[in-house]
Structure 1
Amino acid sequence: MKRWANLIVLIGASALSAQCTTPHVPSLDVPSCTKGTGRVQYDKSVPNGESKFPLTQVDLCYTSSDIKITFTAFEEVNFFYNASQTTNDPLYEYEVMEAFIYHGTSDPSSYLEFEVSPNNVTWQAFIYNPSKVRAAGAPFDNGQLSTPIVDGLVTSTMLDKTAGIWISNASIPLGLFNVDNGAAKGTKWRMNFFRTIVSPDTFPDQGLGAWNPTNMSNFHMTPFFGNVFFV
């Protein structure tokens, strides 16, 4: 299984829309960082959650100016990344944890995709996906963001190879979503979280996992985004 940035989903838009008209959508309450975190854990594969996937955890909270996300990859074997890659290189060909984030309650056609690799390199872009399922022939584009330009978008990553764990902490400015400082409480969001695992022995074949698994090997299916409430 392989997920590329330029993946073409070889199914028509109408067929895809029919497949994901009423997917199950989970919900999560996220508190202020002064009061704790909201947590999701997943161990299901993409597509359809039919296979066991290494346990993955995402903890979220918000401050007056940022969304704080802690990704934890359990049961890690390979810690596989390309050491030559830098910001906005195709990290997704290797091992990454990801958040897709939209401020609002609809199935979005534009949203932030954020990725971090085991060596703390990031990929971030606002995705334009008007078909909402990355349908064949439909427009699909990304506007990549450079971290030196995005003030406040920072990450730190720790590897524990003995325990088979890697943890990445990310801070994502609320201003990217037109949320003013101090105005996060009470806002509603759509999000999904993903992880890609890859072995050097089987590269480029990948294993894919998600909080809310899509029904295809395609992360860009916004009807599957969960509901997230900043309480």
Structure 2
Amino acid sequence: MDQPSNQAIIIQQGHWTPLESTRFFHATDGAAADFPTVVKLKADEEFLHVSFVCEKDTYVEQNFYVEHNQPLYNQEVFEVFIAPGTADPDQYLELEINPNNAIWVGQISNPSRGDQSGISAEMVEPSNSKILHSAKKGKKSWSGTLSIPWTLISAEKATQYRINFYRIVSTQSQTQKDWKCNVDNCAFLCWNSTMSGKKPAFHRPRRFGLLTILEK
């Protein structure tokens, strides 16, 4: 099973809405992954709320980053990339959370939209971001919530956004606390696959899905 060509979700303000499928897809080729990921969204006046459950995570205890804005993406994370409007964005918010409830926040500049190098990040101090977050480890799973202020995403609230969700899953046991994910020891998964070829890549905003928010 390969990913549908364009993922989209419509939510009504004030109501939790799940993504249609719990399947995420490999970043490289869009093939369905066997790591169920349950994501629900809710919008209110102040926040975009994201609830997630990352299932089938055998090695969830082997994540060792505990401080905010460390390179969390070197181990297991759940990520949200989002920008206002419907065009392919060259600037967007990147937000990561790991099983230890550490977060990474950056405003990304990607002038080539992933076609070339030149991606840069302006880090956001989590304590100033007003993001609300939680994470909890389970038995071979972990879950969490993110409440993202609209003001952090853009100056004005929109009704449509380009968005993608990602998950890095460890696929083998690690003996060193400073281990780093790669194609041999992790799966790189997307809600809307970035179709990046041999090397996994998340920063391909032309492949972001579409979020539409209906007012009450």
TM-score, with length taken from structure 1:
0.79
User: In structure 1, what is the equivalent of residue 145 of structure 2?
Assistant: 169
The C-alpha deviation readout for 1:120-141, integer Å capped at 9, x for no partner, is 00001010001001513xx211
User: In structure 2, what is the equivalent of residue 160 of structure 1?
Assistant: 138
User: In structure 2, what is the equivalent of residue 17 of structure 1?
Assistant: none
Q: How far 1:215 moved relative to its partner?
A: 1.4
Give the alignment partner of residue 88 of structure 2, picking from 99, 107, 110: 107
User: In structure 2, what is the equivalent of residue 19 of structure 1?
Assistant: none
2:48 partner SS:
strand
Q: How far 1:142 moved relative to its partner?
A: 0.3
User: In structure 1, what is the equivalent of residue 192 of structure 2?
Assistant: 212
RMSD value over aligned CA atoms?
Answer: 1.9
Q: Is 1:195 aligned with 2:171?
A: no
Q: How far 1:24 moved relative to its partner?
A: 2.5
- Indicate if the aligned counterparts of 1:120 and 1:156 stay in contact, CA closer than 8 A: yes
For this pair of structures, how many residues does the alignment match?
Answer: 198
1:113-192 alignment to 2 at 5 Å? 113-133=94-114, 135-136=116-117, 139-151=118-130, 153-161=131-139, 164-178=140-154, 187-192=159-164
Gaps of 5+ in 1: 1-22
Calculate percent identity across the aligned residue pairs.
Answer: 27
- Indicate if the aligned counterparts of 1:127 and 1:141 stay in contact, CA closer than 8 A: yes
- Indicate if the aligned counterparts of 1:147 and 1:154 stay in contact, CA closer than 8 A: no
Q: How far 1:173 moved relative to its partner?
A: 0.3
TM-score, with length taken from structure 2:
0.84
Question: Which letter maps to 1:207?
Answer: A
The C-alpha deviation readout for 1:157-202, integer Å capped at 9, x for no partner, is 12211xx22111011001113355xx66xx0000011000123438
Gaps of 5+ in 2: none
Tell me: CA distance 1:51–1:68, structure 2 relative to 1, closer, same or farther (3 Å): closer
User: Structure 2: how far apart are the matches of 1:50 and 1:25?
Assistant: 14
Tell me: CA distance 1:144–1:58, structure 2 relative to 1, closer, same or farther (3 Å): same
The C-alpha deviation readout for 1:62-96, integer Å capped at 9, x for no partner, is 1110000012101111113114x411100000000
User: Structure 2: how far apart are the matches of 1:112 and 1:53?
Assistant: 28
- Indicate if the aligned counterparts of 1:114 and 1:122 stay in contact, CA closer than 8 A: yes
2:73 partner SS:
helix
- Indicate if the aligned counterparts of 2:16 and 2:40 stay in contact, CA closer than 8 A: no
More deviation, 170-179/110-119: 170-179
User: Structure 1: how far apart are the matches of 2:40 and 2:33?
Assistant: 21
Give the alignment partner of residue 64 of structure 2, picking from 54, 57, 82: 82
Question: Which stretches of structure 1, 4 residues or more, deviate above 6 A after TM superposition?
Answer: none
- Indicate if the aligned counterparts of 2:50 and 2:145 stay in contact, CA closer than 8 A: yes
